A and B are shown apart, each in its own frame.
Chain A
Amino acid sequence: MALAGRTAMWWARLRSPCPAASSLFLPPWMFAGPVACERLYSSRDKEKIDMSMYPVESIRNFSIIAHVDHGKSTLADRLLEITGTIAKTDQNKQVLDKLQVERERGITVKAQSASLFYSHEGVNYLLNLIDTPGHVDFSYEVSRSLSACQGVILVVDANEGIQAQTVANFYLAFEAQLAIIPVINKIDLKNADPERVEKQIEKLFDIPIHECIRISAKQGTNVEKVLQKVIEKIPPPQCNTADPLKALVFDSTFDHFRGVIANIALFGGEIQKGHKIVSAHTNKKYEVNEVGILTPNEQATHKLYAGQVGYLIAGMKEVTEAQIRDTLFLYKQPVEPLPGFKSAKPMVFAGMYPVAQTEYNNLKSALERLTLNDSSVTVHRDSSIALGAGWRLGFLGLLHMEVFNQRLEQEYNMSVILTAPTVPYKAVLSSEKLIKAYGKAEMTIINPAQFPDKFSVSEYLEPTVLGTIVTPHEYIGKIIALCQDHRAVQKEMLYIDEHRVMLKYLFPLNEIVVDFYDALKSLSSGYASFDYEDAGYQAADLVKMDILLNGNPVEELATIVHNDKAYATGKFLCERLKDAIPRQLFEIAIQAAIGKKIIARETLKAYRKNVVAKCYGGDITRRMKLLKRQAEGKKLMRKIGNVEVPRDAFIRVLKRQTDK
């Protein structure tokens, strides 16, 4: 697993059926908080909370951002406890992580928003904790989350110090001009060195040392202080209940019984059941059925007011109707839509096929249901001669792809064939004919089969990312070599303290998609961390490499490669394929070619003897069974020219190497 860690797809609450989750649901709603404020309602069914008790001035919207394993979920658990949102027990571990995949991987896949009630110096505050995805794959989602916030808690491990994701997340918050509360966590650990971490924070982020709060989320030390800082340092949202309704959809999930549940942040006005609202994006009109807050379970309220964060149910049937970044307003009272977030941009594409075509419909419905709760996956129908009908899916990154695949398996019991991941290349077309056919001059290539040849292209472009690596300095030499080997260009190198270095490199995205993270982890004994952000496109010397069997191209294995890497990739694919194709009655040349030029070759020799030695009375039954199975297998073989290729051969070739 590359890029594993906590975090990932925060946001969006799980409502899909998930047996693993059911036992983890939160304890029943608390009637009286053990600490802090008085409850303002008696039960979830009878009396709804009166949200008008929380004017804009007493609202704080914030996120917690951190590197993997630095304690974000533990801090969230403590905040929920202190504010009486959940009962204080020893069982509260990753309360917000409910999926099997989250528990297994220790990452958050589906996030929770939670409204906390906290009384401070005689004022009742409404604190909305809006989780942010911290993972590299989801940086667009971080901006999405942050735009509903006015501040963040930046959590850094007192032992590990600043890591790559800490840096990436800090800059996102910084650029969004949010208030930042630095928190140094895990001070209870034996090797904790908060002073060193404070210095790093000062050096890298220019935050004065005295602003850092030293805490132990695990033991609860100083957590209360964090809440007070949230109130003091984070400004309330700038908006007015008297304005017309302006609600931002920042997430949506699908509930089989209630339809789409949209998470909204109110930037103006108020909203309640019975209101007629319009989507600025689709212009469709809806009637509001229910509004409420997330605690983190849904808690219906009479109304939601400007500055507040909650959910809305309004008879939307499909998740696509609640477009993330959409602005909702009252019917006949249109407002200027809020500036939208960048929409999810797939970084990695892969073909997904059912293991057998008979499973196609089952897989189709599983995909439909899962994408309802994960709208960042793009789905296009696709088909391959070898693998049959399937889809080409776009993911935010490899971790996203693996998590998605794992959820398909665990929650829908589907096993699928995933082809090698590829990144979205672009071609600037020069051929008038192609431009006309494609509709514009720049074409995005998500499937190597569509690669236009160089005579009709003025330039190929490849996506790049700006990678941040934080590492103990002893590994620098090896890491620099690794980066160079992956065609990366160094942009920055900075000692964040005496022992740690932060490196910034511009990487072609395809170079880090497959094995970069694993390689980095292994050569640094796990100490180096990595994060990346989108850095646009750059011109690249790309070629399409075909794999030929006795001169006939294998469409499924066509790949787009950088010219410099073509030879090594070609050689590797030929070797893999040689092991995956059984010997046949004739010799098979396995070649990698660019255009007409052969760049690598393996030869699979012909069978010279293939006949079972003994076949007498007692052997016949078994023998016939085997032969008939082979005959059946023949019918399923993909024929490329004369050559018969078992269906799983491609998969074995395309699969990411785990045994390298």
Chain B
Amino acid sequence: WPYCRKRCSYCNFNKYVVPAVDEVAVGTCLVQETRTLLRLSQVQSITSVFFGGGTPSLASPRTIAAVLEAIAGAAQLPIGAEVTLEANPSSADTLRLAGFRAAGVNRLSIGVQSLDDAELLLLGREHTAAEARRAVEAARGLFPGQTSLDFIFGLPGQSRGTWARALEEALGLCDDHISLYQLTLERGTALAAQVWSGALPTPPQDFLADMYQTACTMLVAAGFRRYEVSNFARKGAFSTHNLSYWRAEQYIGVGPGAHGRFVPWGEGSHSREARIQTLEPDDWMREVQSQGHGTRKRVALSPLEQLEEVLALGLRTDEGITHERWGHFSPHLSLEAIFGVPGEAKTLEQQGWLVLDNGGLRCTWEGLALLDSLLPDLLCQLQR
């Protein structure tokens, strides 16, 4: 859902703030594109659905239901399949959430971001901390054990102390899944402009590292597992959908600017493609209306490119890349054959950042926080 009511100061997603959305038209197009792409992919069974955005909680439950019906009509959508909706606290009252549940949503991801009103203002969010709390309570009531909260840290002016206190509060509020994102200053956002012009300070590198480590330690103490760089879950409440990205499984992106990775068997192709849908909603709608989908770009991924993605994404998880999954993409060259020989990986293993064993290739606890420094070396080794 590419629409938002307000532009957040840190967000550079493909999103549109428009006075009025023709929801019927957009919904029809979403349904149409879903059908077309499912047919192209010839996927039999859907593991998970994720309504992201934008602000999907601004869409009506009817639209959500229509898309889910389209999916179920074109492929199997098992009863227990994870269906997540991203919601903003300002559009997540009990009534609305109940509607989404009735439409088929069974997991909610709430963009809380902060429980401090001043920070929320800085981020350009339209809700208050109190509204966020109410939304979380409502969500937990309707989606027990299936409510996830998003937080951002490393904000201008934030100290290690305030972050630790914020975490305490978050832990008191949360369910079994929590995502903690370090603020990334994106080009073209208001916040980045303020920081780069010197109007706002950012916490020093070392503070950010401390903040992250503090969070990991506190969450682990509270029974969470850091199953990905920024994602924490307990009682097995992982996001199945997100895990499939990191495991380099197939996914179909529907809607303006959506990305997909799948083999379009239906078009006679045999190789995995990276696909991007048209960014601008009106253009996208015209394309969907005229040709059934708004795919703007398709790039066939070479075997090497696929392996690069498997590596870069898989290492973000604590399980890493299993031998089995690697074998699926690289039947002839094992992880051992590539990374078990003297080279970059071995060096990184000796330095204590990486492990290659029976379980596969993965980062150590410390290594995960430094992944982006490890990957260029590993990619070089892979390319050889």
Contact = CB atoms under 8 A, between A and B. Distances in A.
Interface of A: 583-586, 605, 607-618, 620-621, 623-624, 627-628, 630-631, 633-635
Given A585-B370, A612-B372, 19 more contacts: A584-B373, A585-B373, A605-B206, A608-B205, A609-B205, A610-B372, A611-B370, A611-B372, A612-B184, A613-B230, A614-B230, A616-B242, A617-B260, A618-B13, A618-B253, A621-B259, A627-B375, A627-B379, A631-B375
B369 A614 contact: no
Contacts of A584: 373
Interface string B154-169: 0000000000000000
A25 to B, nearest CB: 49
A610 to B, nearest CB: 5
Interface string B5-33: 00000000100000000000000000000
B329 to A, nearest CB: 15
A630 B276 contact: no
Interface in B257-300: 257-261, 274, 276
A584 B347 CA distance: 14
Nearest to A616: B245
B261 A614 contact: no
Of the candidates B212, B242, B375, the one having the most CB atoms from chain A within 10 angstroms of its own CB is B375
A608 B369 contact: yes
Contacts of A610: 369-373
Q: Which 3 pairs, one residue from A and one from B, show the smallest C-beta to C-beta distance? A: A608-B209, A609-B209, A631-B379
Contacts of B182: 609, 613
Contacts of A617: 245, 251, 253, 258-261
B197 interface: no
Contacts, number: 105
Contact of A607 (B13, B260, B261, B373): B373
A583 B209 CA distance: 14
A630 B205 CA distance: 20
Interface stretch (B63-71, B92-100, B307-315, B334-342): B307-315
15 contacts: A607-B370, A608-B205, A608-B370, A609-B370, A610-B370, A611-B316, A613-B182, A613-B183, A614-B181, A615-B245, A617-B251, A620-B313, A624-B308, A627-B379, A634-B376
A451 B373 CA distance: 38
Contacts of A623: 312
Interface of B: 13, 52, 181-184, 205-206, 208-209, 212, 229-230, 242, 245-246, 251, 253, 257-261, 274, 276, 305, 308-309, 312-313, 316, 351, 353, 368-377, 379-380, 383
A584 B348 CA distance: 12
Contacts of B377: 631, 634
A615 B305 CA distance: 17
Contacts of A586: 351
A608 B206 contact: yes
Contacts of A616: 52, 242, 245
Nearest to B246: A615
A616 B260 CA distance: 11
Contact of A611 (B205, B253, B369, B380): B369
Contacts of A612: 184, 229, 372
A586 B209 CA distance: 15
B258 A618 contact: yes
A624 B309 contact: yes
Nearest to B301: A624
Of the candidates A585, A608, A617, A624, the one having the most CB atoms from chain B within 10 angstroms of its own CB is A617
B184 A613 contact: yes
Of the candidates B206, B246, B313, B376, the one having the most CB atoms from chain A within 10 angstroms of its own CB is B376
B109 to A, nearest CB: 11
Contact of A615 (B183, B209, B251, B316): B316
B279 to A, nearest CB: 11
B368 A630 contact: no
A259 to B, nearest CB: 51
A627 B369 contact: no
Contacts of B383: 631
Contacts of B274: 620-621
B245 A620 contact: yes
